[in-house]
A = this chain, B = another copy of it.
Amino acid sequence: MSAKFSYKTRDARFILKEWLPIDQIFAYEKYRDYYHVEDIDNLLEQMRKITANIVAPTNDDGEEHHPRLENGRVVGPPSWSKVFKYYQENGWGTSNFDENTEGTMPQVVYCFLAEMICAASPAFVYYPALTTGAAKVIQHFGSDKLKSTFLPDMMNGNWQGCMCITEPAAGTDVGDSITKAYPTEEDGIYRIKGSKIFISAGDGDHADNFIYLTLARAEGAKLGTKGLSLFVVPRFWVNPDGSLEPNDVATTGIEQKIGIRGCPTVTLSYGDNDGCRGYVVGEGPDAEGNAQGMMQMFEMMNGKRIESGLTSTGITANEYWNVAEYCQDRIQGRPFNDPRGERIPIIEHTDIKRTLLLNKATTEACRALVSTAYFYLDMSELDPDPERRKWASNRAACLTPICKAYPSDEAWTLMCESIQAYGGYGFTEEYPAARAVRDSKINSIYEGTNYVQSMDLIGRKWMLAKGSSFNEMLTEIETSISQESGLHASLKDSFDKLERALKAYREIQMTVAGWAKEGHFDRVPAYSRRILTASGQLFGAYYLLQQAVIVCNQLENMDETHYDYYFYYGKVLSARFYSHNILPNVWAVAETLQEKDDCILEAPPQIFFF
């Protein structure tokens, strides 16, 4: 029943202090006077403490007290209000993203706090994270009035922000939304009518108000996504004097989810009594009926996509450390080559080492991917050179679908291995693996399913800036191979694998380009998810090998008595394991794409009912 927070900060420290050129970020004007690379140890330790002491206990509380609907409102887990308030008020949450607050953390640093919070309490994290997402949209696109009305209370933990997109009949095809907005006599204010489903943190007793960022179609706007505007619809209307009054938004249901059960996910109904008002963000639709809602929502969504990968990484990492500890404590069986020897901890059995190395290497690859994306995001927002900002923004964009999908897909497989390592105990709720796997599942589904991500990667991101962004990232891998492959004998084989994978990846791109040329781009959806996985694996291996090169340099000057020896040695083994055991999938995918057999496209629906 009980969750366990087992996050270790050493890899985060390595990424920030030894791998990523973090001084570039700290040199930006915004951070110059506030941060130095030497602060990182302290920062990470402070984050770990807050997470362990304040946030981690919310996990069990959320599982023991599932939110319930009572008299039309949600009652959430008892302890969460106080923790939400504490977290937001003390600058760990939304206010870190306030453009007007000084001394905030860069995203590449903050992402490790976020990873820890997800590791500690995967359901709780939605309270601050969604508020942050909503506040960012208001700050970027909202009028001064919107900012002054909503942001202060969203920053200080009084109010909750939410993202309201999905409808019963419009999920992935958001363009089919039917929630409507009717202009009123007041400028920028619309009457809203419709309903939204799957609204995370959409109601509760932890906030005095809920600020629903809601996609709706203003009267006369175009059909499809182009006609959608974004509205700030508060659950309670904020009067000029600051007092609140009901705004005709009702909670009509609460989902029985399989995971993140502490966080209420609700169904909302807007304007049942024709009394629901919302502020349009920016302008309403133009004379041709084109609206800006989707673009604005994507500002929030893109962040959420990388966050999905971050969340998956945090949950998986925590469970990996939990199962490693279990395997060290659990005595069972005898050495393979000495069946009459003493019983040993199962961590010494080869199949368990395989399980743990698979978890360790993949989680580290995911962490490298996600933190790199945040590094580029910081640069894209703060670099003084606009071209450099654009360059970094494109890099982040290329990595976004990979960061979203790869960790969230792998979480399922990795934690299946954890469950297996616990043996029969893995099948009980007494041990934390089962809950972790349930909590993580949502990440492959929402914020655009992983299929949507895969088509975004191939259809858009490969082509960004005429293909130069993505191609440059591949060239970077090539350069690394030619320059670093010979540096350390222990990595030579792994670099050879990386080279083969890179070649295979380019073949994948050529194959897809060939299909497009022949008018057969419709073949892509049959393989796109596999291509996305291969992308995660290629970049994952590249980053792990980059890290391994740094580590090998260190290892030359230390032996196993050094306190960092096993961490560094473990990094080398991660890179080697990943290159030899995971990377081969990239050329397997390349080969499968060469197939002439179109059985997937050919399959008529009728065959599935026997």
28 example contacts (A-B, Cβ-Cβ < 8 A) are as follows A169-B331, A172-B333, A173-B332, A173-B333, A258-B427, A324-B609, A325-B609, A328-B608, A349-B525, A351-B525, A351-B529, A353-B526, A353-B600, A353-B605, A354-B525, A354-B600, A356-B608, A412-B413, A413-B413, A427-B442, A493-B596, A566-B606, A573-B599, A573-B602, A573-B607, A577-B603, A584-B591, A584-B592
Q: Which residues of A contact B (CB under 8 A)?
A: 1, 8, 10-11, 166, 169-173, 176, 197-198, 255-259, 321, 324-325, 327-328, 331-334, 336-337, 343, 345, 347-351, 353-354, 356-357, 360, 412-413, 416, 419-420, 423-424, 426-430, 434, 438, 441-442, 444-446, 449-451, 493-494, 522, 525-526, 528-529, 566-567, 569-570, 573, 576-577, 580-581, 584-585, 588, 591-592, 595-597, 599-610
Q: How far is the CA of A170 from the CA of B441 in the complex (A)?
A: 32
Whether the pair A336, B525 counts as a contact (CB closer than 8 A) is: yes
Instruction: Verify B1–A256 contact, CB threshold 8 A.
Output: yes
Determine the chain B residues whose CB is within 8 A of the CB of A580 once the complex forms. 592, 595, 597, 599
Known: A592-B584, A597-B580. A423 touches B441 (CB 8 A): no
Q: Are B429 and A258 interface neighbours, CB within 8 A? A: yes
A528 vs B336: C-alpha distance when bound (angstroms): 14
- A446: chain B residues within 8 A (beta carbon): 424
Shortest distance between the CB of A67 and any CB in chain B (Å):
14
- Bound complex: CA A197 to CA B424 (Å): 10
Is B353 within 8 A of A610, CB to CB? Answer: no
How many copies of the polypeptide does the oligomer hold? 2
Write out the residue numbers on chain B whose beta carbons fall within 8 Å of the beta carbon of A596.
493
- Complex-state Cα separation, A543 to B348, whole angstroms: 38
User: Is the pair A420, B444 in contact by a Cβ cutoff of 8 Å?
Assistant: yes
* 10 closest Cβ pairs, A-B complex: A570-B607, A350-B525, A566-B606, A324-B608, A10-B610, A258-B434, A567-B610, A576-B599, A256-B429, A347-B605
Cross-chain contact A526 with B597 (CB below 8 angstroms): no
Q: For the complex, give the distance between the alpha carbons of A569 and B610 in Å.
A: 11
- In the complex the two chains form, is A353's CB within 8 Å of B597's CB? no
A37 CB to nearest B CB, Å: 20
- Check if A173 sits within 8 Å of B343, measured CB to CB: yes
Instruction: Give the contacting residue for A588; candidates B256, B257, B588; CB below 8 A.
Output: B588
A570 — nearest CB in chain B belongs to which residue? Answer: B607
On whether the beta carbons of B256 and A597 are closer than 8 Å, the reply is no
A605–B258 touching, CB < 8 Å: no
Q: Contacts A345-B605, A580-B599, A591-B584; is A610 near B570 (CB within 8 Å)?
A: yes
CB-nearest residue of chain B to A412: B416
Closest partner residue, chain B, to A566 (CB atom): B606
A599 to B434, CA, bound (A): 28
Q: A438, A451, A580, A605: which has the most chain B beta carbons within 10 Å? A: A605
A11 nearest CB across to chain B (Å):
6
Nearest residue, chain B, Cβ from A340: B224
Residue ID in chain B nearest A258 by CB atoms? B434
Q: Inside 8 A of A171's CB, which chain B residues have their CB? A: 332, 423-424
Say whether B441 contacts A419, CB under 8 Å.
yes
- Which residues of B sit under 8 angstroms from A169, Cβ to Cβ? 331-332
- Which residues does chain B contribute within 8 Å of A333, judged by CB atoms? 172-173
Residue contact A522 to B343, C-beta cutoff 8 Å:
no
Beyond A325-B609, A327-B608, A420-B450, list 12 extra A-B contacts (CB 8 Å): A169-B331, A171-B424, A176-B343, A258-B429, A336-B525, A353-B600, A353-B601, A354-B525, A360-B607, A416-B441, A427-B441, A567-B607
Which residues of B sit under 8 angstroms from A351, Cβ to Cβ? 451, 525-526, 528-529
Complex Cα–Cα for A365 and B166 (A):
37
Tell me the minimal C-beta distance from A50 to chain B in angstroms: 21
Query: Given A347-B605, A444-B420, A257 and B429 touching (CB < 8 A)?
Result: yes
Minimum CB–CB distance for A252 against chain B, Å: 15
- Contact among B10, B423, B427, B581 with A259 in the assembled complex (CB-CB below 8 Å): B427
How far is it, in angstroms, between the C-alpha of A546 and the C-alpha of B253 when the chains are bound? 51
CB closest chain-B residue, reference A450:
B420
How distant is the Cα of A256 from the Cα of B63 in the complex, in angstroms? Answer: 14
Given the known A-B contacts A171-B332, A529-B351, A610-B11, are A258 and B566 also in contact in the complex, defined by CB atoms under 8 Å? no
A257 to B428, CA, bound (A): 4
- CA–CA, A169 to B424, complex, Å? 12
Q: Are B577 and A599 in contact (CB under 8 A)?
A: yes
A426 and B350 CA atoms in complex are apart in Å by 35
Least Cβ distance of A85 to chain B in Å?
A: 28
Chain B residues whose CB sits within 8 angstroms of the CB of A607 once the complex forms: 360, 566-567, 569-570, 573
- List the B side residues contacting A573 at CB < 8 Å: 599, 602-603, 607
| A166: chain B residues within 8 A (beta carbon) | 424
Is the Cβ of A423 less than 8 Å from the Cβ of B449?
Answer: yes
A498 CB to closest chain B CB (Å) equals 13
Chain B residues contacting A324 (CB-CB under 8 Å) are 608-609
